[in-house]
Amino acid sequence: MSMVVRNNLSAVNTLNTLNRNQTALSKNLEMVSSGMRINSARDDASGYAISERMRVQIRSLNQDNLNTQNGNSMMKVAEGAVQSTVDILKTLKEKVIDAANDTNTDADRAFIQKELDQSIDQINDNANVTYNGKYLVDGSKRGKGIATYNALTNQSFSTNTGAGTALTELEDRNGNNLGILSSDNVTVSYVQNGKTYTTSYTAGTTSLQYIFKAAEDIDTSTYTFADQYNIAIAKVNGVTDYAELAAQAALAQGWVTTSSNVSLAATGLYNSYSSLLSNLHSALDDFRNTVVSFASSTDVVVAGIASKALNEFDGWKTGSSLKEAGTPINNTPKVSDLSTLSYLNVCLDLTGDTGTRDAYSSAYTALSNFLSSDSTSLNDVSTPTPPEVPLLGSNPYPLGTAGYNTSSYSGYASSASAIATEASNFYDSLSGPKLLDGTKVGISRADEIVYTANNENAITVTAMNSGVGGQISGFTVSVSDIDGKIKKSVNAVLDAWSETIRGENEEAEDTAIVLQVGTRANQAIKIGLTDMRAQALGLQGTDGSTLNVSNQQNANAAINVLDTAIQKALDQQTSIGAIESRLTYTSTNLTTAIENVMASESTLRDVDMAQAITEYTRNNILSQSSQAMLAQANQNSSQVLSLLR
């Protein structure tokens, strides 16, 4: 090896080694001081990216866990409010049972009423509880849904029981006759909008449906129980749009021909169910009132019928037509062109299709002559051939030709009183309460058919109007014998009505509470809280009137109202409890997930301290050794000077 002084290769080589040892020592020092194997992307590019994503997930999971805990706190506030309401309702149940006891005077009940009123106010206060400024159980935190019609179902009757089953033939679930006698007294009570309605009648030959007919007749100014035109009833029966409902309703009233053409007494456009319903009821009310109000005078009654028929006939004779733009229930557009034919065909017995126009002309002439004459005889109207004068016909054309025949009524009127009676009976057959007697009980807020819990036949009555305002808060039936003795075994069956569909208002927007409990979008728990105010519980009317216990009958009816209210409150309470339980499980799951992700991130990023210190010690010694050797190497060039001596 030659001796050179310009380039000290040994020193350069030693310097390079020293630099490498210093770099390694610096990296080891960074690892030991930070405790991490990856301190920046240069340490491990792919490992750094994976580790950072895991850190994002860990932070997200921590926030999810915090959200869950906050949500649980919110639910505890709601639970406390509902629990307070349950406690109040239990006290109110105790008080109304006390008020129903006739050892109390009406003055005593007045004191109970005061306590009841204050308790109902407190229930409203409970419903206005807030969490972070948000109202929880005032009905403002519900999911999107259609308005529902309150439904009460009785599953204590025999499975073959129908609306037309006579009270004396009613059987319990085991097939045993209830033992109702025709001489027994039936008392019916219900509560709606904070008001109590009660009536009594003798069982006689009446049917199960008549119980609700009697209840409906307590207040003739409003409709309480759904008839066959109710939208919920229609949907249960498979009707899909309003035009179809209009056709079915008109056909049921006898306004039919041998074709599918249908005529309504009052024409117009039906853009909603409410307008159609109003039209039908108006037509029925008008007819009944026209006939019944003149029951004292034969000639006036006949004149009334004849005049109405003549006016309808005039409309038909001019060839007018009706186009019904039916807003579909199922959002499928449908327009029906319905040729106008009057209900004259149900006032006059015109059989067959042959000579229909001639028969109508003959009838029209007879009616015109009758109205212009002084005759008072029914026979004066029935003189033409072939017409006769039945009340609303004897099915002059086949009903059912349009595919639907829910009810029909026929009979000949021989006197004014008979006309009035038959008119009322026909009206009742069309517009009376409609009972469902199968496994279907109504329509849910999701616009789906609801069935009985065990999918067995039951009897269901539906509220005429939707929402909270239309709900039937409590329905009570009591049967006693001719001596006034209460038949408890009978009442146990007749009074077993439970709420299967709650009347709720339509909610156009989804206002349910959303708790974000996942690291990705839509990984959330949605919580819908129902209305716990007194009106929604059936304890208060829209006008502020409260449940009344001023007398024994009202207090007795209030018992079932409190039972229903307690059930609603308990349903909400159990729902909240289930949510709290779920949130607890969610929090536990999130905690486990955080632990597992942190373990994975630690494997990638944390340094093995024992190994790092070992490497640090080695590189430190090597660095010191390199420094010493570099000093020696730097002395090599100076050895050349010895050659100059």
Per the structure, the count of domains in the chain is: 3
State whether 441 and 567 are in the same domain: no
CATH number at residue 86: 1.20.1330.10
Of the residues 454, 482, 506, the one at which a domain ends: 506
State whether 311 and 424 are in the same domain: yes
Considering only CA atoms, which of 343, 336, 301 is closest in space to residue 321?
Answer: 336
Section 10-20 average pLDDT: 87
Residue 616, in any domain of the structure: no
Considering only CA atoms, which of 329, 179, 322, 195 is closest in space to residue 262?
Answer: 322
Using CA atoms, how far apart are residues 414 and 416, in angstroms rounded to an integer?
7
> How many helices (H) and strands (E) in the chain?
15, 15
State whether 170 and 128 are in the same domain: no
Using CA atoms, how far apart are residues 555 and 553, in angstroms rounded to an integer?
5
Using CA atoms, how far apart are residues 521 and 362, in angstroms rounded to an integer?
76
Pairing mode of beta strands 524-527, 513-516: antiparallel
- Reported as a pLDDT band with limits 50, 70 and 90, residue 639 is confident
Bigger pLDDT: 38 or 128?
Answer: 128
State whether 408 and 548 are in the same domain: no
Residues spanned by the domain of 541: 55-144+510-594
Residue 621, in any domain of the structure: no
User: 279-318 pLDDT, tens per residue?
Assistant: 555 555 554 555 444 444 444 444 444 444 444 444 433 3
Query: Would you say 128 and 422 are in contact if contact means Cβ atoms under 8 Å apart?
Result: no
Using CA atoms, how far apart are residues 261 and 387, in angstroms rounded to an integer?
22
Residue 310 identity (one-letter amino acid): L
Q: Residue 506 above 60 pLDDT?
A: yes
Sheet arrangement for strand 435-436: 435-436, 459-462, 151-154, 498-501
pLDDT > 70 in the chain, percent: 68
Considering only CA atoms, which of 110, 135, 112, 111 is closest in space to residue 124?
Answer: 135
Q: 207 in helix, strand or coil?
A: strand
User: 198-225 pLDDT, tens per residue?
Assistant: 999 999 999 999 999 999 889 877 889 9
State whether 351 and 377 are in the same domain: yes
- Give the alpha-carbon dihedral of 100, 101, 106, 110, to 10 degrees: -60
Average per-residue pLDDT for the chain: 75
State whether 447 and 585 are in the same domain: no
Count CB neighbours of 277 within 10 A: 21
State whether 250 and 377 are in the same domain: yes
Name the helix (H) or strand (E) containing 627: helix 609-634
- According to the model, what pLDDT value does residue 589 have? 95
Residue 550, in any domain of the structure: yes
- According to the model, what pLDDT value does residue 31 have? 86
Using CA atoms, how far apart are residues 401 and 398, in angstroms rounded to an integer?
6
Query: Would you say 70 and 527 are in contact if contact means Cβ atoms under 8 Å apart?
Result: no
Query: Would you say 486 and 480 are in contact if contact means Cβ atoms under 8 Å apart?
Result: yes
State whether 140 and 154 are in the same domain: no
Name the helix (H) or strand (E) containing 191: strand 185-192
Residue 33, in any domain of the structure: no
Residue 541, in any domain of the structure: yes
Query: Would you say 246 and 262 are in contact if contact means Cβ atoms under 8 Å apart?
Result: yes
State whether 459 and 560 are in the same domain: no
Lowest-confidence range among 171-185, 263-277, 592-606? 263-277
- Sorted by sequence, the CB contacts under 8 Å of residue 275 that are 6+ apart come out as 268, 269
Query: Would you say 564 and 503 are in contact if contact means Cβ atoms under 8 Å apart?
Result: no
Q: Which two tokens stand for residue 218?
A: 């307590």
Of the residues 577, 594, 611, the one at which a domain ends: 594
- Sorted by sequence, the CB contacts under 8 Å of residue 35 that are 6+ apart come out as 606, 607, 609
Of the residues 432, 449, 469, the one at which a domain ends: 432
Residue 14, in any domain of the structure: no
- Give the alpha-carbon dihedral of 221, 391, 318, 273, to 10 degrees: 30
- According to the model, what pLDDT value does residue 150 have? 94
- According to the model, what pLDDT value does residue 604 have? 87
Query: Would you say 249 and 278 are in contact if contact means Cβ atoms under 8 Å apart?
Result: no
State whether 342 and 199 are in the same domain: no
State whether 445 and 420 are in the same domain: no
Residue 184, in any domain of the structure: yes
User: 341-361 pLDDT, tens per residue?
Assistant: 333 333 333 333 334 444 444
Residue 419, in any domain of the structure: yes
State whether 383 and 350 are in the same domain: yes
